Amino acid sequence: MQIYNFDEPITRNGTCSVKVDGLKAKFGREDLIPLWVADMDFATPPFIIDAITARCKHPILGYTYAPESYYTSIINWVKQLHNYTLQRAWVEYIPGIVKGISFAVECFTAPGDKVIIQPPVYHPFRNVPEHLNRKVVENPLQLVDGHYTMDFDQLETIIDADCKLLILCNPHNPGGVVWSKETLIRLAAICAKHKVLVVSDEIHAELVFPAFTHHTFASVSEEAAQNSITFMAPSKTFNMAGVVSSYAIVPNELLRKTFFSFLEARELNSAHLFAYPATEAAYTEGEAWRQQLLDYVMGNIAFVTEFLASDIPQIKVYPTQASFLLWLDCRALKLSQPALVSLFVNDAHLALNDGTMFGTEGEGYMRLNVGCTRTILQKALNNLKMAVKTK
């Protein structure tokens, strides 16, 4: 079996990387260790690069369509990882999950309708509906013994006839929760009762840690299957976000016909030349790489957790169950949010995500991306230790 090197330093400067070359525009300075945008600093797996390169060797880069092997790779992968059997007709390409969310909002709601989100949560869940002139209604997650849970009682009180859609983050970003089957069944029942369509963003589903089980929302009950659209992608797992290779899963025939017709009318279901071979390579050759990546990421998380506990006990790590994103509780520092951000940026020279971008519930928090080499992570934590000590 091939052993992959996640300790290899790779310079991303000059590649139009949002994470690196976008530092100045976002933070006002460039001398920062970039630990924000949710892509990783590890080399995209060689089998994906090889698949793209092989296609480039043909001298004509013309119109393309999805081969059946593309759909077969998705069906086999979802069955293998999530024990969920898809039908070919349920699956369709979409050009990105955030775009997919916007398509679903446009397709199934009208201006003025309400869209439910569960903050603190990935910020496009709020931004997309608001930009489309929909009203965002909040069902905030609750902290119980250091873990986020859904507040179903509050959810029942906010749903009215104008609530048409709920956007679910499964697994949750930034909280790192892998939702239990029981939680998802209950959510599905409430939403079905009130005719609220569930759009489930499952982009981090392939990065669930071995002690936990991801449940694709549509798989947990017939109510969930008949009242949901699920979005998945290999982009986070295989560090290929720039390839844009997401897909939608819609078991319900009427929802499927409506949504897929919406996509087809706008040619939004037609991928660019490299999406199909890259996805197929990831899903047919990528399991060993995925396992080794998870081992490395879990090692990074353990390193951060131990470092903070021993050297910066004022900052706590929320136990994460999936992905390379950590939710840092910095409230014990007793800083205002602007002062907290300044501590990270101007004192520690670190670029993390401001917790309030995920909602007001993120005040006192920062999101840390540990998808980097252990060496970089150690340097970043040492910087933070010195910044906190001198504050």
Is residue 152 within 8 A of residue 196, CB to CB? The reply is no
* Domains of the chain, each with CATH number or no CATH: 18-45+287-389 (3.90.1150.10), 61-284 (3.40.640.10)
Neighbours of 108 (CB within 10 A): 18
DSSP 266: T
Amino acid at 104: A
Q: What are phi and psi of 14, to 5 degrees?
A: 80, 10
pLDDT tens per residue across span 265-293: 999 999 999 999 999 999 999 999 999 99
Collect all residues with Cβ–Cβ distance below 8 Å to 119 and sequence separation of at least 6.
Answer: 126, 138, 140, 141, 358, 359, 360, 361, 362
Neighbours of 135 (CB within 10 A): 15
In the prediction, which pLDDT does 345 show?
98
The closest alpha carbon to 118, from 144, 154, 161, 147, belongs to 154
Residue 391 has pLDDT above 80, yes or no: no
Length of the chain (residues): 391
Collect all residues with Cβ–Cβ distance below 8 Å to 327 and sequence separation of at least 6.
Answer: 174, 175, 176, 317, 318, 320, 355, 365, 367
Mean pLDDT of 116-125: 98
Is residue 235 within 8 A of residue 245, CB to CB? The reply is yes
pLDDT tens per residue across span 221-253: 999 999 999 999 999 999 999 999 999 999 999
Cα 36 to chain centroid distance, Å, stands at 13
Residue 21 has pLDDT above 90, yes or no: yes
In the prediction, which pLDDT does 31 show?
97
Cut 0.75: pTM above it: yes
Residue 15 has pLDDT above 80, yes or no: yes
Residue 46 has pLDDT above 90, yes or no: yes
Tell me the C-alpha to C-alpha distance, in Å, between residue 24 and each of 20, 124, 366, 383. Answer: 9, 22, 19, 19
The whole-chain average pLDDT of the chain stands at: 97
Mean pLDDT of 139-165: 96
Collect all residues with Cβ–Cβ distance below 8 Å to 62 and sequence separation of at least 6.
Answer: none
Q: Which two tokens stand for residue 85?
A: 């059997």
**146 confidence band (pLDDT: 50, 70, 90):** confident
The residue behind tokens 């990105």 is: 96
